[in-house]
Structures are given as structure tokens and as C-alpha cells.
Structure 1
Amino acid sequence: MSQTKIHVLHTGSVNVDRALPFKEKTLHPLPFSGWLRPNSWRMWVPVSAYLIEHPKGLLLVDAGWHEDMRVNVRKHLGFLTSTMISGVLPPGQSIREQLQRLGYTDKDLDLVIMTHLHSDHVSGIKHVNGAKRIIVSDLEWKAALKDRNYIKSMWEGVNMEKFDMKSIPHGPYKKGLDLFGDGSIYLILTPGHSAGMVSLLVKTDDGWVLLGSDVGYARKSWEQHILPGVTTSMEEADKSLTWLGEFSKRDDCRMVIVNHDPEIAPKIIT
């Protein structure tokens, strides 16, 4: 692989209340849950993953929905979560099937990077358990162990390596990881939606591609500064979204892609 290539993949969709991607000012204590709110306020958004063919390895970012979502959504998500969100995974769209379509298996993956461990990102991780390495930030791992809202059964039996944050030249906190030590891919600490969430900066010949995970949910998130409806820290979410918006305006920023943006179709970026 002599050139970096990014495959934007949709691994099904998730159905949520509109207040989950776009925070609302309301007297409702938990608007993102959708409880006691009209069904007409719900929306479908894609669940994305990214396969990066890089000169130094084959990388996967997040794992999308597991094929168990086709069998029993409530069992896979758990009762409480299934009252707030639902999802679909059409045939051919699991990460296992998409790798196969591209001529790969999980054993071909040099690295799987988990941006964070929310269900719609980690659900399919057992489909790629044969990867050489699977990593997650130490901050996210520690938060997931303490927080009962994480669905730990999704990664049970999966060996995830934890990485510490180091000083880097990018990001709201200038912390993350220079993945290959050559400045071609940075993992950027962008907390707020979750405690240890990372985004990715991927260098291409035409500029940086910023994979913003759930820092925002659509272009209007950073253009209108609308925070996600679910945050672990409003202050951190605000700082991360501000940084993403500022980076998007740089001359060397080719594009910003966030995980659940309905306007982003599956594509290949070279």
C-alpha cells in the first residue's frame, strides 16, 4: 500500500431522539432518551466505521453493529438502552461482511482503533477479534469500567490494549498519540461525549482528513455549535467541538467527517 486510502463504511443505522445528536434546551430531564416525547421527533442516522489502507498497515476505526442486531435488538442492547435507541443492520453491512467484500478478513487487520466504547461503536468488535491489535485510550477504558451505561458484554473476551495520552501538536488539549511516529496519523483526545473519546487526523496528499467520531453529529454541529445531547462533561464537549470547528476552517483541512452524519455517504477517500 503506497497511498493512504480511507473507506467510509456504513454498518447499519441507529434510531434516536433528535435531542441525542443535537442538544436541546428543554425542561425534560433526559430528552435524549426519547421517553415521553413524540415518535415524530425520532430520526435515523448512520453508524459508521472506517477502513484505512495506510503504507504502514491496514487499520479499522470502530466496528459498528454486530450481526446480533438482526436477531434480537433488545437482548443485544439490554432492556434500558433499547428503550432509548434501536438499530438496524441490513444484509452485507456488518463490518465482517464489508471486510469480506473488500477482500479482507479480520486477521488482515494490523490495528483496530476504538474511538470510544459506546454500543454503536463497539458492538461489532467480536467480528474483528482476529486483528493483530485492538486499542482504546486508557481514559476511555477506565471510564467504561466504572459506568454502568456501557454494555461491557459487547467486548467480553476481546483483548484491548490501552494507550496513554502523550503530547502532540494537535487537538483541544494537545494530547493523544502519533500512531506511527511520523505525523501521518494522530489519535486526538477529544473528550466530552465520553471521557476518553479520540478523533483521528489522517494525512493525505491533499490535506488532513479529520474523523471526528461523536464530537458532533453533523456539519451543523460545529457550524452552529450544537453539542451532543449526551455528554460526560459539558466543558470538555464544548472545547472539543470548538477545536473541531476551528480545524475545519484550516487551509490544510481537506474534510471533516463525523460518525453519524446523514449527509455522508459511503465513499473512498484517496
Structure 2
Amino acid sequence: MSLPPPGENQTYCTVSVLEAGFVDVPMAQIVDTAPADEMSRFPCLAFLLKHSSRPDTFVFDLGTRKDWETALAPSLVAMVKKWYAVEVPQDVVDSLKKGGLEPADVTHACVSHVHFDHQGDPRVFTSATIIAGAGSRALLTPGYPADPNAHFHSDLFPERRTRYVSPDDPEMVSIGPFAKALDYYGDGSLYIVDAPGHIPGHLSLLARTSPDGAWVFLAADAAHDWRLLTGEAGVADSAHFGCAHRDKATATKTIAQIRALAELPRVRVMLSHDVPWYDKNKGGGAFWPGSLESF
């Protein structure tokens, strides 16, 4: 197993981290080794990618919106308040503005999945093509308010400028351990990866970060904790806390694929809720207008 070698004049992406809120999470929902009273403050990380030869700005994940208590569907707000505490001192829009970008400057915005701490507010990105997994459609149909108990608004994604990526798309290729990925620009610089198990339509991102063979994998919620990737813990699934993934067996397979990818040379794996990385790097040069160092 390997990743495609770089070609002549290989294009790549510069990747910057964006802060997008915090969520306090009971860890017994996440790993099977956690005691019932263990809590962890998860950073919600989003990412800005800039193509090396195109004037494109690509945002992966939109984080948590500041007005989530009034903007989200009532049943979703109730669920969030049952399990979590949420704080959004800085959202994706604030993070972009720190480096001089407005939402209207974004060319592409990919939402890994529709959970509240990733969906943000796609409509403020008025010039962007919105990218989402095809499986998300069923979660928005009929959606709120037609279904008052639905968790997600039916019009979350702007209909005329949303591209739904499906594992059945004929453009899909295999890359590394993943069977289904879309070479988004067609030049080997950025792949949108079908990463199933967490919730229908879940996507991850694999991007080249140098012209000579470095990569970063943005896992989103395919894994919430590094112990799942190291094998120190398994996916939690209890009567009280439930499971963080809709399909535990498939999620476990996806985690195994990410583990295999992380063992390849010059591959960095980033989780959306990467607590150890955030604690070490918060406020540092990896955040926009700075960027991640390439491996």
C-alpha cells in the first residue's frame, strides 16, 4: 500500500488550521476505556487549503456556529444540551477574517458531515461550491421544519450550488487504504475520501502538502480520539452513553484504514477534535494566516 508519487511540477495544497468552537464531551461516548465521569474539552477544528497553482480557497468543515441555540432545529438543540456544553468564542468566519479572508472569498466549502459542530452555516459562503456526502441528503429529508422532530434543517445546503459526493460516482478512485476517493482538482493534489461509519455521508480529506511527497489526512469524525488509532482503546458502545457512530462495525474498519495510512512515511493525520495536538499548538503558527508545516 502506498500513495501516488509526485509527478513533474506536482501541485499541492498549503493547509491552515481554523478554530471553530469547543464542545465538552463525556469520554465514555468515545472510548471504551473511559470512566463514566470523564469529560474532555474538544476543540472543533476546521481547515483552510490553498492550492499551489490555482487562486482557490477550500475550507474543510465549518465548525460550530455562534447562534447554535437559536439557529439549529429544536430537537437538535435539546440533544446537544443533554450531553454537551458548547462554547464558541471564535467561529470559522472569525478565524478566516484573522487572515484577511471573508466568507465570500471562499471558492469551495466541504462539510464532512451534518453534525452541529461541523455544519456551521454554509449559506454565508455565498460564492462557494458546497460539497457534502450524498448520504447527507436522507438526513435532510424531509428535515426541519416539515418534520418538527428532525435534527437537521431541510435547507441546510444551498440547493443550486451544492455538490453531493457519492461513493458510487464513476470518478471515484482508490488511494492508499481507501477504496473510494474523488481527485477533486484532477491533478493529484486533493482527494475527498468516502470515510463511512460515523454518520451517512461522512467525508474525510487527503491533501498533498508539498511537491515532493508529503501528505495530510483530515479525518473529521472518522475517529474522535488518538487512542482509537493507536489501539489503546476501542469504540465505545454502552447502554447509557450509546455509540458515537451510527455503524460501529464500519466505523471500526475506517479507523483501521486511517491507522494504516498513518504508518506511511510523510503522512500527517489530523482529527477534528485533536485534543493533544491542540493543547500543544494552540495560538501557534499552524493557525491561519500561518500554516501547518509539511512533513
- Band the TM-score falls in, shorter-chain normalisation: 0.7 to 0.9
2:142 & 2:182 partners in 1: Cα distance? 24
Which residue is equivalent to 2:239?
none
Q: Secondary structure at the match of 1:226?
A: coil
Describe how 1:13-92 pairs up with structure 2 within 5 A.
13-23=22-32, 40-55=37-52, 56=54, 57-69=56-68, 77-90=76-89
Q: Secondary structure at the match of 1:227?
A: coil
Cα 1:183–1:24 change in 2 (3 A) is same
- Greater relative contact order (CA < 8 Å, ≥ 6 in sequence): 2
State the SS of the aligned residue for 1:5: strand
What 5-or-longer segments of structure 1 have no aligned partner? 27-36
TM-score, reference length from structure 1: 0.82
* In 1: Cα distance, 2:207 partner to 2:265 partner: 15
Q: Residue 215 of structure 1 aligns with which residue?
A: 222
Structure 1 residues 76 and 5: CA distance shift in structure 2, 3 A:
farther
% of aligned pairs identical?
Answer: 21
**Most deviating of 64-73 and 106-115:** 64-73
Partner residue, 1:189: 194
* CA distance in 2 between partners of 1:72 and 1:164 (Å): 28
Structure 1 residues 4 and 262 mapped into 2: Cα distance closer, same or farther (>3 Å)? same
Q: In structure 2, what is the equivalent of residue 269 of structure 1? A: 292
Aligned to 2:175: 170
Deviations 1:112-132 (A, max 9, x none): 001111111003434x33132
Question: Which amino acid is the alignment partner of residue 63 of structure 2?
Answer: G
Q: Distance between the aligned counterparts of 1:109 and 1:151, measured in 2?
A: 27
How far 1:53 sits from its partner (Å)? 1.2
Task: Name stretches of at least 5 consecutive residues in structure 2 with no aligned partner.
Answer: 1-10, 237-242
Matching residue's letter, 1:244:
I
Q: Write out aligned runs for 1:226-245 (5 A).
A: 226-227=234-235, 229-245=243-259
- In 1, the alpha carbon distance for the partners of 2:175 and 2:12 equals 23
Deviation, 1:76, is: 9.3
Q: Select 2:125's aligned residue among 91, 113, 129.
A: 129
Q: Provide closer, same or farther for how the CA distance between residues 24 and 125 of structure 1 changes in structure 2, counting only shifts above 3 A.
A: farther
1: CA distance between counterparts of 2:180 and 2:71? 39
Change (3 A) 1:264 1:163: same
Q: Which amino acid aligns with 2:204?
A: S
Q: Counterpart of 2:158 in 1: which secondary structure?
A: coil
Q: Contact conserved, 1:117 with 1:144, CA < 8 A, in 2?
A: no
Q: How many residue pairs are counted as aligned between the two chains?
A: 253
Q: Which moved more, 1:178-187 or 1:214-223?
A: 214-223
Q: TM-score, normalised by structure 2?
A: 0.76
- Identify if the C-alpha distance between structure 1 residues 175 and 47 changes in structure 2 by more than 3 Å, giving closer, same or farther: same
After superposition, the Cα gap between the structure-2 partners of 1:222 and 1:138, relative to the gap in structure 1 and judged at 3 Å, is: same
Aligned counterparts of 1:239 and 1:252: Cα–Cα separation in 2: 23
CA contact (8 A) 2:177 2:261 kept: no
C-alpha displacement of 1:102:
0.9
Among residues 79, 100, 103, which one is paired with 1:103 in the alignment? 100
Once the 2 structures are TM-superposed, how far is the Cα of residue 54 of structure 1 from its aligned partner? 1.4
Residue equivalent to 1:30: none
Q: Distance in 1 between matches of 2:125 and 2:258?
A: 31
Letter paired with 2:111: M
Alpha-carbon distance, 1:191 to partner: 0.7
How far apart are 1:170 and its partner, in Å?
Answer: 1.9
